[in-house]
A and B are shown apart, each in its own frame.
Chain A
Amino acid sequence: MSVITYRQALRETIRAEMHRDENVFLIGEEIGVFEGSYKITEGLLKEFGERRVRDTPIAEEGFVGAAVGAAMLGLRPVVELMTINFSLIAIDQIINHAAKIYGMFGGQNSVPMVIRTPGGGGQQLGATHSQNIELFYSFIPGLKVLAPSTPAEAASMMRAAIRDDDPVLFLENLGLYNSKGEVPEEDDTVAEIGRAAVTREGSDITLIGYSRMATVATRVAESLAEDGISVEVVDLRSLRPLDRETIVASVRKTGCAVVAEDDWLTYGIGAEIAASIQEGAFDFLDAPVRRVAMAEVPMPYAKPLETAALPSVDSITTAIHETLAAVGRRVG
């Protein structure tokens, strides 16, 4: 085991996949000479050259679509979109093309590509650069959407995404790039897409999160454990397909649940989780499912406003206490 950052895990995995498969190439804005806005591709242009690491003009629709076309001819492009906000400019190519080509033509041509992109607020980037719009892609049959929360998962899920024959939206998070975690040496683990994980076992309440919020959920669980509250943490990992069985199995055990999500509440990922829980664990529920989500505003720049708008350890802790109070088994 070695302890590395989420950023290093991504970079090392992409690099190893490029060595493993000649058809894997990188394409995106500022990934080569500039070495990536968030330095995920640092050093890769020098190592692999311009054929494998292709800087693009600022033309998201053009280069995402070009990656789709290249994938149709058997290449395995790994696209970097500087942030998920810019995916909106490429959304026609992602939703109307990448996600449709396999089905719309009767399964004749797969589209093996990865679109890597970070979401996440909390960096004072303002309204257009702080959104969490992974829901748009999680809504679309034909796409697979992954949201790793740890360096080890970032590595094993990137391997899975690159080797998969379908278009994969790979959600990273600005707040996670510097986070550290253990990754096995000489790791070649390939994550199974479509599986959530119980990352911490507990018995009093189920806390569900993904990406950054899965790490916040773990911190909340550790903190509440000191008060004698046993929180089970479910990390969704895969937003499409969604592993409802793992969520529901946990809620059937604990009898109540809170969802923590960085996106907006109305119609958000948490809404789907809550609906799934009521359908799969109706007889086991002792309290309404609560969702802790971002305030429904365009993200403000000013730090106090931004901090207040985002879910936090405190707000999740409050929701858990209130849910347990509703259940009628107060602890501590």
Chain B
Amino acid sequence: MAETAKSKGGGAKTSGGRKRGRKDSPSGIGAEPPKDLLDYYRQMLLIRRFEERTAQAYTQARIGGYCHLNLGEEATVVGLMTALQERDYLFTNYREHGYALGKGISSRRVMAELYGRTDGVSKGWGGSMHMFDTQVRLLGGYGIVGGQLPLATGAALAVTYKGGDEVVMCQMGDGTTNIGAWHESLNIAALWNLPVVYVVVNNYTGMGTTVERSSAEPELYKRGSAFRIEGERVDGQDVLAVRDAATDLVERARAEQRPFLLETMSHRMKGHSVVDPAKYRTEEQAEEAKGNDPLAAFERQLTEAGVLDDATKKEIADSVKDEVADAADFAENSPHPDVSTLFDYTYATPVANESTRMPADPVFAE
């Protein structure tokens, strides 16, 4: 189901009037090309298995630092990434492994980044929270909540400055709608008619604080109305609904040259990060998350629709299993960055008197 908060033309008409979603469309799952459906299914399964492998590697101390997983958000991630054209730009928060895969980075290079190796997308400089690839136009996972919003807004400004037709998608979590950068960025994007789609991935909880305890307007898609930005809410557990809603807004942003807001609703299957046991959740809430597994639901739908038979299911499962194992092997065997490269990326333009001393080096070498 999709609800919209239309506020074009000045009124604060924030009540959800329009309902739009896959189930209401005349086509339905039967009208979808099976090849596409299986492709979405494979991508979702890849994210699931990749993240499970990530969690395992983390507990084995192959991966360090903070590590936030997309478990439970597979439908959202695949739906959103399907909506983007190759030339469109993506900015995300720190929960972005799946987005990196979805935007077209190989699972090898994403896993190698998690392992901190030279073949990682960010050459081992970023880690879990900082995936980046100029080629596929993923312009960063960002670790500071809200940090990506002004950046994405400015990227959209650059697109209009150059007269391009790319759209910028800016993903964030539900907690981000309370930070100053949210208000400043949405205001600027609306004032300057920038082609950016802000996507709030609402998993009901910012770390351990529920949306209701942090946002005075907990229906987050309505929070664009202060800036006359049209907002829409979609079931984030339905890959086709997310794809359709996101495609619609991305293409409208491109055609109408203005910003939009999309809120996706899905459950976080684990804690905030790998090390979070999520003790603040009641058993009921944990069960609800488990019971709302988008991958299991999509698998069931595809099976019922006759798109996915046992043989295909096994074939995809094996292929994904192999890909993830290969990614982990690749990461394990990729070289650690050499310490001699420590000062390679401080400045893009070389500069006189840059300090390249190691911790115990004297400031003045004789």
Contact = CB atoms under 8 A, between A and B. Distances in A.
B153 A65 contact: yes
B66 to A, nearest CB: 14
A66 B134 contact: no
Interface string A144-162: 1000000000000000000
B154 A194 contact: no
A158 to B, nearest CB: 15
Nearest to B187: A57
Given A166-B348, A241-B352, A69 B154 contact: yes
Interface in A68-108: 68-75, 92-93, 96-97, 101-108
Contacts of B344: 107
B152 A69 contact: yes
Contact of A166 (B91, B126, B133, B347): B347
A57 B364 CA distance: 46
Interface string A187-226: 0000011110000000000000000000000000000000
Contact of A279 (B140, B147, B185, B364): B364
B169 to A, nearest CB: 13
B199 interface: no
Given A66-B150, A280-B363, A102 B158 contact: no
Interface stretch (A7-15, A243-251, A314-322): A243-251
Interface string A228-268: 00000000001001111100100000000000000000000
Interface of B: 89, 91, 120-126, 130, 132-134, 139-140, 142, 144, 147, 149-159, 161-162, 180-181, 184-185, 187-188, 191, 344-349, 351-355, 362-364
Nearest to A108: B134
B351 A65 contact: no
Q: Which of B120, B153, B346 has the largest count of A CB atoms less than 10 A from its CB?
A: B346
A65 B149 contact: yes
Give the 10 A-B residue pairs with the shortest CB-CB distance, closest first: A65-B150, A69-B154, A62-B184, A106-B123, A66-B154, A194-B352, A110-B348, A105-B132, A73-B158, A69-B151
Contacts of B150: 61-66, 68-69, 93, 97
Given A62-B153, A244-B363, A101 B140 contact: yes
A65 B121 CA distance: 23
A72 B151 contact: yes
Contact of B122 (A56, A61, A106, A141): A106
Given A56-B188, A106-B132, A65 B154 contact: yes
Q: Which of B181, B352, B353, B354 has the largest count of A CB atoms less than 10 A from its CB?
A: B353
Nearest to B123: A106
Given A61-B150, A107-B344, A193-B351, A66 B188 contact: yes
A104 B151 contact: no
A307 interface: no
A75 B348 CA distance: 15
A162 B152 CA distance: 22
A61 B181 contact: yes
Contacts of B346: 102-103, 141-142
